Amino acid sequence: GAVVSQHPSWVICKSGTSVKIECRSLDFQATTMFWYRQFPKQSLMLMATSNEGSKATYEQGVEKDKFLINHASLTLSTLTVTSAHPEDSSFYICSLHGRLYGYTFGSGTRLTVV
């Protein structure tokens, strides 16, 4: 089956700094990648859809200048949380979609901003 590697699994950063999260497909080419955010005891909320080679599409209420998404290749998408603040602390999960395997999720990144 499809394997998605998400890195780092957890990160603690100071308020005002930026954090980059990587999502990598190890064994298939993903034309579309999705980024989700999950607050404690809540469901996964879609933040943006990332298509290789084009600009990401953001969901309503998600600031595109704060959550920078780069989908430079068919195997890598990155999410950068810029000028992070404590309210950005959350569990971020990527999902890749491929024709053969459908949707496959990364293991998530726990971001804590102090």
Partner 1 sequence: GQQLNQSPQSMFIQEGEDVSMNCTSSSIFNTWLWYKQDPGEGPVLLIALYKAGELTSNGRLTAQFGITRKDSFLNISASIPSDVGIYFCAGQLLRGGATNKLIFGTGTLLAVQP
How far, in Å, CA of 91 to CA of 113, rounded?
Answer: 12
**74 scored as a contact of partner 1 (CB under 8 A):** no
Q: Which of 26, 27, 72, 102 binds partner 1 (CB under 8 A)?
A: 102
The angle formed by the CA atoms of residues 31, 33 and 39, to the nearest 5 degrees, is 175
Site for partner 1 in 80-99 (CB under 8 A): 91, 93, 95, 97
Burial environment of residue 20 by CB neighbours within 10 A (0 to 12, 13 to 18, 19 or more): middle
61 is an interface residue for partner 1 by CB under 8 A: yes
Stretch that binds partner 1, among 12-20, 53-61, 63-71, 76-84 (CB under 8 A): 53-61
Residue 86 C-beta: closest distance to partner 1, Å = 20
26 sits near partner 1 (criterion: CB under 8 A): no
Kindly give, in sequence order, each residue whose CB lies less than 8 Å from that of residue 1, ignoring residues fewer than 6 positions away: 101, 104
Angle at 85 between CA 109 and CA 111, to 5 degrees: 10
Q: Does 51 bind partner 1 (CB under 8 A)?
A: yes
Q: Is there binding between residue 103 and partner 1 (CB under 8 A)?
A: yes
When asked if residue 3 is in the footprint of partner 1 (CB under 8 A), the reply is: no
Which tokens is 42 given? 């809540």
